[in-house]
Amino acid sequence: MIYQSYNFVDSYANASGNRRNNMVLGELGKLIRTNPEIVINALEEAEINVPRNVTSKGLTRIILSNKRNTRMIRNLSALIFASTSFSGSEYSNVDGQKGQFFKNIGSWFKNRKERKALRQQGNEGKERGGVFKKIGNFFRNNQEQIGEIGTTLADSLRNRQAINSIESNTQPTDNTNTQDPSWFQKNKTPIIVFGLVALVVGG
């Protein structure tokens, strides 16, 4: 089932059981479809390797293969909560750019990974302020809700039907602009093109 626009936070609070599972998996599928780079940043911060030319199906399978990675669950739960919470909130418009706050979350995950690497090397690194601080505060102030989503996500990823629930929401909707290639299409390795060039040169 593909979930369209609705108030996720209120609907989730009033739902239970399979309904909650499907809602969370549906939002995860939408994130893979609309913001794959941010999802990849969240996985890499959890020490999960993601191929450069990964497809939406590949990304889904990587998540399912790492369903016991608690840091991945935490990161994805934070993304799900954030992506469904900004409309009409103070975070919708930061520094005069609507929606920029959510886009910066990918960089926030990268920054966390870099800071962790510096700590392992004995260098603390500098804490970044501005929007990075706002993102950190947003997640800290909503730990309880993110934790609830995390519990549901961890449970739902163990379901055999999880892959179908996620993938049904990674497909383009009727509103998708077919003239604008998706992130996956733009980052697909052009093996066929290379082959054609080789043939031309070889001939």
pLDDT digits (tens, 9 = 90+) for 25-60: 999 999 999 899 999 999 999 999 999 889 999 999
Query: Which region among 56-70, 116-130, 154-168, 177-191 has the lowest average model confidence (pLDDT)?
Result: 177-191
Q: Which of 9-23, 71-85, 185-199 shows the lowest mean pLDDT across its residues?
A: 185-199
Report residue 158 as tokens: 């163990």
Pick the more confident residue, 53 or 124: 53
pLDDT, the chain, mean: 77
Three-class secondary structure of residue 184 per DSSP: helix
The residues that bridge with 97 in the sheet, in sequence order, are: 94
Report the share of the chain in percent with pLDDT over 90.
Answer: 37
3 state SS of 201: helix
CB 43 within 8 A of CB 72: yes
pLDDT score of 71: 95
**What average pLDDT does the segment 174-189 reach?**
59
Angstrom distance (rounded) from CA 196 to CA 174: 34
Strand partners, 93: 98
Predicted confidence (pLDDT) at residue 198 exceeds the cutoff of 80? no
Whole-angstrom distance, CA of residue 53 vs CA of residue 132: 28
Query: Inter-axis angle of helices 143-156 and 17-34, to 10 degrees?
Result: 100
- Whole-prediction pTM: 0.75
Residue 73 has pLDDT above 90, yes or no: yes
pLDDT at residue 6 tops 80: no
The pair of structure tokens assigned to 19 is 């309904």
How many whole angstroms separate alpha carbon 20 and alpha carbon 11? Answer: 9
For residue 151, count CB atoms less than 10 angstroms from its CB and return exposed for 0-12, middle for 13-18, buried for 19 or more: middle
- Rounded to 10°, the helix 131-141/70-83 angle is 100
- C-alpha span between 50 and 58 (Å, rounded): 9
Higher pLDDT, 200 or 27: 27
Measured on CA atoms in the order 53, 47, 22, 8, is the torsion positive or negative? negative
pLDDT at residue 11 above 90? no
